[in-house]
Amino acid sequence: MVLETKQPILDQMKKAKEAKPPTSPLILQLLIPKGMAQSTFQLPVVDAGTREFLPLDEEVNRRLLKQIDWSPPGSEPLTRGLRPLKTRLFAMRAKGDGNCLPHAVSLSLWGHGDNTLVLRSLLKEVFQDRPSEAILFSVWCKEQKRVNEAAGGSASIKMTAGELQAEWRMLMEAVKTPSAHLSSFHVFVFAHVLRRPIVVYGETYVYGANNSEAFVPSDMPGIYLPTLQHQDKCYKSAIAVAYTCPVVGRAGHFSPLVGMSKQLKYLPLVDEHGKNLPVR
């Protein structure tokens, strides 16, 4: 599986790498035995009549159909002069027990959930290592500053140093609590634990209580790169995960996205409208 790229995204990746030098001592350790994180689970090839026997999440497949059953427009420079590209991903069921992110990652890698919470434990190890935590906190603060600047520096959004520390403690506590929902920054750290990119596809907005009005943008969809890792310790192929947004006040849900055997060769780096996914 290869990431099919366009120049604007390549430029974003270059900037991300330059902004985040590989300096973390713990993250550079091989937290997962060499080779295990390189796996990518694929479904067997089946016809429409036997698809019902696969452990698919049909609700997620329906909601994200335009993103996971994807072909680029024929006028795109990416496909001009080349054979047509086609991507078909399938969302598998993942437990909604508060550990859906590690379950989704585990299913994408090996075809089974993180039932013994091994991946969640590795995530906790990274946050509990003081030097690693300091580096991650610095990266997270810069991201919060970027979000604030993108919003126009509104006083209602800008956080004080104390508020940043309080929210960071909440991020750390979420890792320690097996049933606590994990955030986009935890996806970023997971990319470092695996030493490979994670592409998250999902709805771009969290909806209001009536589930009909877009309330706030979702910060989840994007390309998560292990930019704190040395390149020679990373895998170039990505895994794909879906994130479906709920109504305001409720946690969303992560699902693994996998292809059928020998049929998936590309992952789109754009949404259903052709807009570049953000590099995180």
Question: Any idea where the domains of the chain sit in the sequence?
Answer: 2-267
Higher pLDDT, 231 or 139: 139
pLDDT tens-place string over residues 133-142: 999 999 999 8
First-to-last alpha carbon distance for the chain, in angstroms, is 20
Q: Which of 100, 192, 245, 271 is catalytic?
A: 100
pLDDT tens string 32-83: 776 788 889 988 887 777 777 788 888 888 888 878 787 766 545 554 555 5
Please report the pLDDT score of residue 247 as a whole number: 59
Catalytic residue, from 103, 245, 253, 271: name it: 253
CATH of 2-267, picked from 3.40.605.10, 3.20.20.70, 3.90.70.80, 3.30.1330.10, is: 3.90.70.80
Cα-trace Rg, the chain: 19
DSSP collapsed to 3 states, 184-217: HHHHHHHHHHHCCCEEEEECCEEECCCCCCEEEE
- Of 11, 97, 112, 230, the catalytic one is 97
Catalytic status, residue 253: yes
Rounded Cα distance between 190 and 31, Å, is 11
